[in-house]
């Protein structure tokens, strides 16, 4: 099979499953963060990745019943601030961009949840959406932790160099650990604001499993029973 045919087939698959594209982008970001987080150019590259992931999140929202203008109202200023932060190397702009991106990811996650709950039929894209939603919520809280640490220094500590601010990948690791219920404990919230955020994420993780994932599993079992 020739490369153009393969590319065309992949494009049609991604067109039918936009949630899969967002999920793939989020997982690819994890790999990139592992490479760039400790380098001198990590912050700049992190901003560049955000410029790609944020529009992808907006694009997925546009495929759902949600009003797309809300997502763009959050995304465009976030993109502008990320670009300005890369050009001017001003960390304060990254904080404000992170605040907007946190709101965008939460909005996109809520939109995908409405998309998954709007009917009683489980599609392949909805299964991808369940994974994409999990990553969106995790990213949203990680951005919230980043803002919390910037506004309230000393909000988080860790087993390694406890006095220094936590790096982005550490905050994202805390977010995934909290949302999944694993709770590894090597990154610890100290301030009241940080602990409240962590408690909100714990509630979100339990609610997501109880409401969304359990519903998709139940409907998938029903569909399998009807098709057998």
Q: What is the pTM (predicted TM-score) of this model?
A: 0.83
* Cβ contact 141:178 at 8 Å: yes
Please tell me the distance from the alpha carbon of residue 207 to that of residue 140, in angstroms, as a whole number. 16
Provide the pLDDT for residue 11: 45
Which phi and psi angles does 188 have, rounded to 5°? -125, 130
User: pLDDT tens across 22-36, in order?
Assistant: 888 888 888 877 777
User: pLDDT tens across 43-57, in order?
Assistant: 556 666 666 777 777
Show the low-confidence residues of the chain (pLDDT under 70).
1-16, 37-51, 61-67, 119, 216-228
To 10 degrees, the CA torsion angle through 104, 157, 205, 99?
A: -10
Tell me the three-class secondary structure of the chain, residue by residue: CCHHHHHHHHHHHHHHCHHHHHHHHHHHHHHHHHHHCCCCCHHHHHHHHHHHHHHHHHHHHHCCCCCHHHHHHHHHHHHHHHHHHHHHCCHHHHHHHHHHHHHHHHHHHHHHHHHHHCCCCCCHHHHHHHHHHHHHHHHHHHHHHHHHHHHCCCCEEECCCCCCCCCHHHHHHHHHHHHHCCCCCCEEECCHHHHHHHHHHHHHHHHHHHHHHHHHHHHHHHHHHHHC
Provide the pLDDT for residue 43: 57
Q: How many CB atoms lie within 10 A of CB 113?
A: 19
Please tell me the distance from the alpha carbon of residue 62 to that of residue 72, in angstroms, as a whole number. 10
């Amino acid at each position: 099979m020739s490369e153009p045919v393969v590319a065309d087939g992949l494009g049609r698959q991604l067109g039918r499953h936009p949630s899969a594209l967002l999920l793939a982008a989020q997982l690819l970001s994890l790999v990139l963060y592992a490479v760039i987080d400790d380098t001198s150019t990590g912050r700049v590259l992190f901003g560049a990745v955000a410029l790609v992931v944020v529009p992808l999140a907006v694009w997925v929202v546009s495929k759902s019943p949600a009003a797309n203008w809300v997502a763009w109202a959050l995304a465009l200023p976030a993109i502008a601030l990320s670009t300005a932060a890369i050009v001017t190397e001003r960390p304060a702009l990254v904080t404000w961009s992170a605040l907007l991106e946190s709101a965008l990811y939460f909005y996109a996650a809520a939109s995908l949840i409405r998309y998954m709950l709007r009917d009683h039929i489980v599609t392949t894209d909805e299964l991808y959406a369940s994974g994409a939603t999990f990553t969106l919520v995790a990213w949203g809280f990680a951005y919230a932790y980043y803002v919390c640490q910037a506004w309230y220094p000393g909000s988080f500590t860790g087993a390694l160099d406890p006095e220094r601010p936590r790096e982005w990948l550490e905050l994202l690791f805390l977010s995934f650990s909290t949302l999944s219920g694993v709770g590894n404990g090597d990154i610890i919230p100290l301030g009241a604001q940080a602990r409240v955020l962590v408690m909100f994420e714990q509630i979100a993780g339990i609610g997501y499993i109880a409401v969304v994932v359990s519903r998709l599993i139940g409907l998938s079992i029903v569909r399998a029973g009807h098709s057998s």
